[in-house]
Amino acid sequence: MSVVLENLGKRFGDGPAVLDGVNARIARGEFVALVGASGCGKSTLLNIIAGLERPSVGALEVPADGAAFMFQDAALYPWLTARGNVELALKLRGVDNATRRSRAMELLELVHLAEAADKRPHELSGGMRQRVALARALSQARQLLLMDEPFAALDAITRDLLHEELERIWRETGCTIIFVTHNVREAVRLGQRVLLLSSRPGRVVREWTVGPEAKSDAAAAAALTGQVTTRLREEIRRHGK
């Protein structure tokens, strides 16, 4: 297993529980999408898996080398080129000078952005900036990649193109991906499984396996998207009460 969560719980100070009794097992090389109502604890759960937060209770197993993290905001350094942003991440990893430039170019080629290596963030489109951010995350050479709504701010066409790129990169690298999204269609499109977190306190209350039909047939994908959306709306209504 790549990630194992057992009865995981989290509360901040004396406040109510954000997460309570979270149980999940994610296999090495699996792509899992995580959906839930706003405020249900999805980002908190990713932060715990990444080691940025400690759980209040429960047990957690993650790969020994930790996880790479990609956020909704590309957060690139504006004074560095695309290659410079990736090289900086490699430098922080301790990669030597002679290797950094070539490795950065390899990663930019992987995300189909080698031709923009010398451009600064303000010269890149939103989708291109997210590709640089993905290359930077991959530069950490971790088995586990955590993605917190990385495409939410992009237009639909750009998002669809990046879905294709992410699927290709996932297959080429064999990494494990946990992908948080509010977009159920996106979850079904990308994930091998979709996990639904309940409204606070968050726990995994339902999961769906995305079979081959849903990956290849639009009607099957729409049907599964409808099932997940219906159950998600129930959680949103419950949260509203």
What is the tens place of the pLDDT at every residue in 38-82?
A: 888 899 999 999 999 999 999 999 998 889 999 888 889 999 999
pLDDT band at 7 (very low <50, low <70, confident <90, very high): very high
The residues facing 31 across adjacent strands are 177
144 and 62 in contact (C-beta within 8 Å)?
yes
Supply φ then ψ for residue 177, to 5 degrees.
Answer: -125, 130
Class of domain 3-66+144-240: alpha beta
Q: Which two tokens stand for residue 157?
A: 């066409």
Q: Which two tokens stand for residue 187?
A: 């979850």
pLDDT of residue 241: 56
Secondary structure of 157-223 in HEC code, one letter for each residue: HHHHHHHHHHHHHHHHHCCEEEEECCCHHHHHHHCCEEEEECCCCECEEEEEECCHHHHHCHHHHHH
- Domain segments of the chain: what residues? 3-66+144-240, 76-141
Neighbours of 239 (CB within 10 A): 15
Q: Read off the pLDDT of each residue in 232-238 and give the average, rounded to a whole number.
A: 85
pLDDT band at 239 (very low <50, low <70, confident <90, very high): low
Q: Which two tokens stand for residue 134?
A: 């993905």
| pTM of the entire predicted model | 0.93
pLDDT band at 1 (very low <50, low <70, confident <90, very high): low
